[in-house]
Amino acid sequence: MTPKAATKRKTAGPKFAPIRVEPAYRKVAAALLARITDRSINAGDRLPPEMELARQFGVHRGTVREALRELETNGLLKRERGSKLMMVTRPARDTVAAGVSRALALHDVSYHDVWEALTAFEPPIAAAAAHARDTRDLARLDKIVARLDEEQDTEATVTQTAEFFRAVGEATHNGVFMIAHEPLVELLIPSLGAMIDKVPQARRRIAEAQRKLAAAIRDRSAVQAGEWMAKHIRDFRRGFEIAGIELERRVES
């Protein structure tokens, strides 16, 4: 064996991925996030001042400031008026949903994708709402349904429809359901906005479905609630077909 061949044999081996080098502020943010996630720091707790955090982490104050800004943007920290200290908070559902919706839109989800996901998620959520709803949920649903007017403009109709879906989700009193379906509701808004004016019967069909759903939830009829929600989602697909909108078209967020 030649020296060159021997050297080649000695250096042959598995391939290694490059080590990811993260900025220091990301490491500080990750350390703080870990403490928030494991509840070592709870919602409502205030963090130490920036200078103290910089001392504890052994970094510059600017590094801590960038880390805090990142967590604040993600809804995990906020600064109360009149206070210089950051307070730990739970991110609101709409903040979480907005980020997921943007990510889905950037992955080129189509109207068909939204319709298919709604078909899978929303009927079970409606059924769960029929089991778990209370009097406040019923009052909220009735109030939202009463707002739907066949003469109102597109923006008002779309906003009302999204609020109805959110109210059904919140009537489940299940945090997973509420957070999981919110990104779909966010994507439903531009989807409806693209179709509703092109289908004359759309507002009437939406109003009918909402009334039937609210009645099934009131009667604690999980089966009927699920069936009416499934029909409601099928109507959305039919609306796109009537409007001549390709279901494979990308949703504009």
The more confidently predicted of residues 226 and 10 is: 226
Instruction: Give CA–CA dist 176/172, Å, rounded.
Output: 10
pLDDT computed for residue 101 by the predictor: 62
Strand, helix or coil for residue 14 = coil
Examine the pLDDT at 244 and tell me if it is beyond 70.
yes
For 85-102, give the DSSP string.
SEEE-PPPHHHHHHHHHH
Predicted confidence (pLDDT) at residue 156 exceeds the cutoff of 70: yes
Give residue 110's pLDDT.
Answer: 83
Residue 142 has what pLDDT?
Answer: 94
Q: How far apart, in Å, do the first and last CA atoms of the chain sit?
A: 64
Number of other CB atoms surrounding residue 126 within 10 Å? 26
Host H or E run for residue 131? helix 111-132
pTM: 0.70
Residue 180 binned pLDDT confidence (cut-offs 50, 70, 90):
confident
Domains of the chain, by residue range, sit at 24-88, 94-243
Question: Tokens for 202?
Answer: 């759309």
Average pLDDT rounded to a whole number, residues 202-214: 92
CATH topology of domain 24-88: Arc Repressor Mutant, subunit A (1.10.10)
Q: Which residues pair with 78 in a beta bridge?
A: 87
Task: Give per-residue pLDDT as tens, 91-128.
Answer: 766 666 666 666 666 667 788 888 898 999 999 999 99
Q: What is the pLDDT of residue 104?
A: 65
Q: Residue 140's pLDDT band (boundaries 50, 70, 90)? A: very high
**CATH topology match: 24-88 vs 94-243:** no
Query: Long-range contacts: 76-80, Cβ < 8 Å, 24+?
Result: 76/33, 76/36, 77/47
Please state which of the ranges 42-46, 47-51, 172-176, 181-185 shows the lowest mean pLDDT: 181-185
Where do we find the tokens 């109207």? 111
One CATH from 3.90.420.10, 3.20.20.80, 1.20.120.530, 3.20.20.140 for 94-243: 1.20.120.530
How many C-beta neighbours within 10 Å does residue 249 have?
Answer: 13
Mean pLDDT computed over every residue of the chain: 85
Give how far the C-alpha of residue 146 lies from the chain's centroid of Cα atoms, to the nearest Å: 26
